[in-house]
Structure formats: structure tokens, C-alpha cells
Structure 1
Amino acid sequence: MADHPELSAEERAGKAFPVSWDQFHRDCRALTWRLNSAGPFHAIIAITRGGLVPAAIVARELGVRVIDTVCIASYEHNKRGELQVLKGLSADALKLGGGDGKGLLIIDDLVDTGKTARIVRDMLPKAHFATVYAKPMGRPLVDTYITEVSQDTWIFFPWDLGLSFQPPMREGAG
């Protein structure tokens, strides 16, 4: 798979990993269970947009009240583009992390190629980085994750999905 693939709908469907709300919530709680012994954390930094939902779940479970965001645009619907930092960390979050991220928890839904993770790692080199899902290229940049998927898998998150009929995997099995 190329570093910046532009997958067709057929290619995404063939390597699809749909995640329901229930499964995502369970995976976020499992992530929290692993993070419980890694803290305490002064604040959570959610990488938007994908990190917002897991950050809320993890913050609730760990009792962390301070949540900040780093806003990085890397996807335009289904195509990866150039990375843009739209919003950096607040002065308060930087202060809580001592300027280098110590005591901060970075949360994202997925680490893919690692390009977004590298930008945030450079901002907060001593922060603990956690994602719910990890692909091989980005996995070395995170400290904690729950599920690894192959690099060519396209994850469909619950907020990307609507309820609709799904045909059986095997033709004629319906």
C-alpha cells in the first residue's frame, strides 16, 4: 500500500473493518484499563476529530477533567492529504505538561501511517500516546493501543456509518 493511497469505494469495502458504537465503547474501556497504571495524567489531549470520542470515554473512566485538543487535518473524507495543524495546544495544557508533555495523555482513534502522530509527538515528546486502533506503520509511535489492523484495512468508525441492509458475505447465502 502506498503512503498516500486513494482507495476506491470497492477497495475500501474489500478491506473494511466496520466498528459499531458498542464495540468502540468496549475498546475505549479496554484502552482505559491498560492506561490505568500508566498515569496519573494531568490532562488529556485529543487529536481531532477522531480522538474526541475516545478522549471523552477515557477521561470519564480515569477521572480526568482537563481535556484539550490538537486539531490536525489529514483526511478529506476518504483521501489523505497534506497535514495541517489547525489548532495547537493551549498555554494551560502546555503548562500542565511542563512544556514537554510529561503527565499528559494524548488520545486518538487510530494511528495509521504515523504522520499525524509524529507531529503531536514532536509537540509533546514526554506525553503518553494512546490510540484505540493501530496500523503497523504508525504503531511504533504510540505507547498503548488495543487492536492492531493491517495497513491496508479501512476502519469504518460508528460516526461514519448509518444503519442499512448488509448483504451476506457469501453470495446466495441470504
Structure 2
Amino acid sequence: MTDDRQNKAFPVSWDQFHRDARALTWRLAGSGPFVGIVCITRGGLVPAAVVARELGLRMIETVCIASYHDYTKQGEMEVLKPIAETVLAAAGEGGQGLLVIDDLVDTGKTARLVREMLPQAHFATLYAKPLGRPLVDTFITEVSQDTWIYFPWDMGLTFQPPIRDGVA
């Protein structure tokens, strides 16, 4: 990601995020059955809650991976918490029957790491960039690789200048 994030900004409101999470659920409804969700933290927590509610899933697990250590630059991948053995035991071989949820697939580094853990799981994200897109099975919106997505939890309610003023 370049430092020029303002030129290709994609701000997502809470309303839009919720609509996209429900749209993701509609796409996933015919892909199951799923025995549970593994959400990639932190970004996958909110969409996983919406998808779990809509699909009636109660087994929700996290895999905690840190890759953005200074918020803007992706660094070394660090698994802070692996997937619990009880969740792995409930799924089929290789995670079959598990639904992996994240907010975004960017470079694909995180998805690739989780895919190694759960090669048979179904991977779904709300947003996908070209480098990571081949690693997910289902997504809602594709954005260019040089677009910075501002999620609702990253933003405050402030005035946004019009696009005509040179700000996206």
C-alpha cells in the first residue's frame, strides 16, 4: 500500500458493511452446510457475527493473526491464537464444513496461512483485492490493489469534502 491512500479511498459505513455482510450470507446460503465459523481476527469478527446469525450457526471460533503491526504496512505474520482442537474435531478432514470469514483479502498472506491450516474450508470475505482474490471462494466486492478500505470502526463522523475538491 502506498502512502497516498487518500487518492483511492473506499470508505464503508456501518449500514453498507451490514448490507454487504447480509449479501455475503445470501451467497453462502447454498454453499453449506457449515458446522461452524472460524473468523480471522480482528477484521472478521463483525461480519462473522452477522453471518452466524443469518445462517443459524452457533460454533464460532477465532484464529488470531497479526500482520499489520503499524496499521499501514503489512509485516511478518504472527499466529497469536490457533484454531481450537474442539473446532477442528467437529469439522471434517482439512476443515471441511468450516466457514472462514474475514473482512478483506488484500495481498493474500493471511488467507494463505489460514488456508494451510484449513485447506478444505470455505473462505469468504466481504471485499477482495486482485492479489488475494484467488484464495477466497466467495466475496462481495472487488476493489483495486491500490485502494485503501476504511472500515466503519476506523472512522469517526466527520465532514468529507466533495470528490470535485480532489479528495476521494
Q: Same fold (TM over 0.5)?
A: yes
How far is the alpha carbon of 1:170 from its aligned partner? 1.4
Q: Which amino acid aligns with 1:142?
A: V
User: Match of 1:118?
Assistant: 112
Q: Deviations over 1:10-49 (max 9, x none)?
A: x111110000000000000000000000011101000000
Indicate whether 1:139 and 2:133 are aligned.
yes
Distance, in Å, in 2 between the alignment partners of 1:152 and 1:171 is 20
Matches within 5 A, 1:32-43: 32-43=25-36
Indicate whether 1:26 and 2:19 are aligned.
yes
Indicate whether 1:57 and 2:50 are aligned.
yes
User: Match of 1:163?
Assistant: 157
How far is the alpha carbon of 1:99 from its aligned partner? 4.2
How far is the alpha carbon of 1:169 from its aligned partner? 1.5
- Show structure 1 runs of 4+ deviating over 4 A: none
Distance, in Å, in 2 between the alignment partners of 1:130 and 1:145 is 6
- Between 73-82 and 105-114, report the one with greater CA deviation: 73-82
Percent of residue pairs bearing the same amino acid type: 71
For residue 96 of structure 1, the aligned residue among 85, 90, 95 is: 90
Q: Which amino acid aligns with 1:154?
A: W
Unpaired segments of 5 or more residues in structure 1?
Answer: none
- The secondary structure found in structure 1 opposite 2:86 is helix
How far is the alpha carbon of 1:78 from its aligned partner? 1.6
- The secondary structure found in structure 2 opposite 1:133 is strand
When the two structures are superposed, what TM-score results if normalisation uses the length of structure 1?
A: 0.92
- The secondary structure found in structure 1 opposite 2:48 is helix
User: Match of 2:74?
Assistant: 80
What is the total number of aligned residue pairs between the two structures?
A: 165
Matches within 5 A, 1:1-20: 5=1, 7-8=2-3, 11-20=4-13
Distance, in Å, in 2 between the alignment partners of 1:166 and 1:32 is 31
Distance, in Å, in 1 between the alignment partners of 2:104 and 2:63 is 15
- The secondary structure found in structure 2 opposite 1:73 is strand
- Between 76-85 and 32-41, report the one with greater CA deviation: 76-85
Q: Which amino acid aligns with 1:65?
A: R
Q: Deviations over 1:59-117 (max 9, x none)?
A: 00000001000000011312211110111000111101234100000000000010100
Distance, in Å, in 2 between the alignment partners of 1:171 and 1:128 is 42
